[in-house]
Amino acid sequence: MHHAFPVAGTLLLLASMALTAAPAQARPCCKKEKAHTEEILLAPWSGPYGGVPPFDQARVDVLKPALEAAMNATLAEVERIAVNPEAPTFENTIVAYERAGRTLGRVQAIWNVYSSNLSTPAFQELEQEMEPKMAAFQDRITQNAPLFRRMATVYDARENLGLNAEQQRLVWLQYTNFARTGARLDDASKKRLTEINQRLATLNTTFRQNVLADEEGGTLWLTDPADLAGLPDPVKDAAAQAGEEGGHKGQWAVMNTRSSVEPFLTYSTRRDLREKVWRTFVMRGDNGDAHDNNATITEILQLRLERAKLLGYSNHAAWQLELTMAKNPENTLKLMEAVWGPAVQRVHEEVADMQAIADKEGGNFKIEPWDYRFYAEKVRKEKYEVDENMVKPYLQLEQLREGMFWVAGELFGFQFTQVPESEVPVFHPDVRVWKVTSRTGDLVGLWFFDPYARQGKESGAWMTQYRSQERFDGEVPTIVSNNANFVKGKPGDPILVSWDDAATLFHEFGHALHGLSSNVTYPSVSGTAVPSDYVEFPSQILEHWLSTPEVLNKFARHYQTGEPMPQALVEKIRRSSTFNQGFYTVEYLASALVDMKLHLAATPTTDPRAFEKDTLQALGMPHEIVMRHRTPQFNHIFSSDEYSAGYYSYLWADTLTADAWEAFLQAPGGAYDKDLAKRLYDDVFSIGNTVDPLTAYRTFRGRDAGIDALMRVRGFPVPVTK
């Protein structure tokens, strides 16, 4: 899940992508201290590494005045550009705008960490107040007519100004982003657009907070050891630790988050409790109570359609996809539907295998969604002689982190050195920081790592970019983070993770490497500031290095003996690589298809629950599976606009990933081929949005990516070309 904050125009107007960490208590303070703290948040970052975020100085009570002061400063900067009496030029308009908003970018980096990692009740109240104000602020900039006229003048003359390719791309992006967000509307339409955006900001915040409330309030507390039947010791230890941290010492907690729910569904032999845990998880945001999201979804969809039509598009999906690789919704549906049929057929085969085992064991029931992971593990063990319990002892979180560092070094020459706790402020004691340097020893940036679940933190895993790389006003190194929700076990014990979680770890680190690799001039085209259906390509391809023998031999070591994973087990993992692909593909695609169809509807649904049910029924959704993200908890598409009508992006990017990985498999040096790794860095990871993604991929691969490699890597039949 990519949570690098998107750039709106060229200001670092960071969209709040439901990230959330340990509650920080606001302290009462004197007026003098408060003013001083505000000044620290507004000031350029000080300290080493080009300056670091003052996380230790941030408090909820100073975020509002700091944010308001930063917005006012930005408006003043923008107005100076707009009223400049000199004729518009690239330097005094485009570059000047690129330079604007730095104070705001710094404050919003702090703000978004609170939104994602420090979401206390006090902050949530402030978030409800400020998100609409930030939306209106953004509209004041994009609707600034004199500013847009200056941009248009430079845009019209861009091919005759002696600009290089990156500068021409920057001009095009600035102009296009303004045009697409209402700069050409009449005054009445601009006013209505601002009203819509403000209301959507409120609704997005409400949606995100409702999901978080259901996650935090949905913990299952177990008091009887018999309730732990089937759970491996590390899972039981993690549940006990979570119980103690939640104030219930002597009890076991199954938290209502994916990282806690999925191990329980995989191992628990208590079918009644599996069902209870599953129902609580899939009903987040859909319980008909104060945190129910269905009415919120209805209004979001209505407003998104109205906004799209106001901007000249037939629907929200058409507006969202215009600048993506896919270009339009029809292309996404063509890809998704091509994969859907084979994936559903594979699910039926997987269910038949599971049902046979359940029947043989005397189970008088049909496989239900809360049985899928449990019986899938039994099938995996029977078919491939491997299950998660055999693999997890070799997958230690900290060893995997070292493995990721090693891969980054082998591919791109990056070196990671942990910095002393006193050198860089962090927002929670769990967070650690590494300095990243190049082969020549030059500073690349900083990497923050926040791996553990806790109260107030959204479930899942993500990457965030606190500062973009740039060099037009001097070299500025990037600062990125990876955040996850691994459950701590006993103090001092290693954290053991599943194969799927290990792949997710590498995936999010791929996003971080994308940010760290950035080698461009201007921040708004830096790092991960690319279309959503391309941004997942660098992250997804990095997953493939997890399974390489080099990584497994060096870093997949038994947590007790230190012995490397046996080759026989490595081979079993390799042979089982396409196992359960029906399940993974269908649960994902169901969410992606519902997302797209919600945003293509000519008339927005007034009953999201029924729309979801009817859409899945029409698709032929197997009843043994639910969407990976059901509509009322689908933060990707309803906590902001970023991935709305865009959840297809993971599949689109995976077509590139599968095709690119085959290039490595065919290269003389295999997965670590130096020449191909250099091309991957030069043509994909380092160029940001300075080149159209389609052109960038063609440069790397020498051609477009087809669907064949995607089908092969998932073990589905390759379509026959007529």
Which of the four CATH numbers 2.40.50.100, 1.10.1370.40, 1.10.3720.10, 3.90.105.10 does domain 31-184 have? 1.10.1370.40
Question: What is the chain's alpha carbon radius of gyration, rounded to the nearest angstrom?
Answer: 25
Q: Which residues contact 700 (CB under 8 A, 6 or more apart)?
A: 660, 679, 680, 683, 684
Residue identified by tokens 């620290």 is: 40
Q: Which residues of 115-130 are buried (b: 16+ CB within 10 A; e: fewer)?
A: bbbbbbebbbebbeeb
Pinpoint the residues of the chain covered by CATH 1.10.1370.40.
Answer: 31-184
Beta carbons of 105 and 42 less than 8 angstroms apart: no
- Angle, CA 291 vertex, CA 289 and CA 292 arms, to 5°: 70
Nearest to 51 by CA among 474, 472, 462, 401: 474
- Angle, CA 458 vertex, CA 610 and CA 7 arms, to 5°: 90
Dist CA 626 CA 703 (whole Å): 36
> Is the sign of the CA dihedral 138, 144, 150, 153 positive or negative?
positive
Helices (H) and strands (E) in the chain, counts: 28, 7
Dist CA 36 CA 233 (whole Å): 50
Q: What is the pTM of this model?
A: 0.91
The residues carrying an active-site annotation are: 508
Averaged over successive runs of 10 residues, the pLDDT of the chain (722 residues) comes to 36 26 29 61 96 94 96 98 98 98 96 91 95 96 98 98 98 98 97 98 97 95 97 93 92 94 97 98 98 98 98 98 97 97 97 97 96 96 91 96 98 98 95 97 98 86 96 96 90 91 97 98 97 96 96 95 94 92 97 98 97 98 97 97 96 98 97 98 98 97 96 91 59
Nearest to 238 by CA among 262, 216, 218, 217: 262
Please report, for residues 276, 281, 353, 594, the alpha-carbon distance to residue 368 in angstroms, rounded to integers and kept in the order given.
Answer: 12, 15, 14, 21
Helix (H) or strand (E) holding 435: strand 432-437
Nearest to 619 by CA among 378, 366, 333: 333
pLDDT of residue 22: 28
Beta carbons of 633 and 214 less than 8 angstroms apart: yes
Dist CA 566 CA 553 (whole Å): 8
Nearest to 329 by CA among 609, 605, 601, 659: 601
pLDDT of residue 14: 26
End-to-end CA distance of the chain: 37
Beta carbons of 5 and 17 less than 8 angstroms apart: yes
Cite the DSSP H helix spans in 361-463: 372-384, 388-391, 397-412
- Classify 208 as helix, strand or coil: helix
Query: Could you give the count of Cα atoms lying within 13 Å of 636 in the half-sphere of its Cβ?
Result: 25
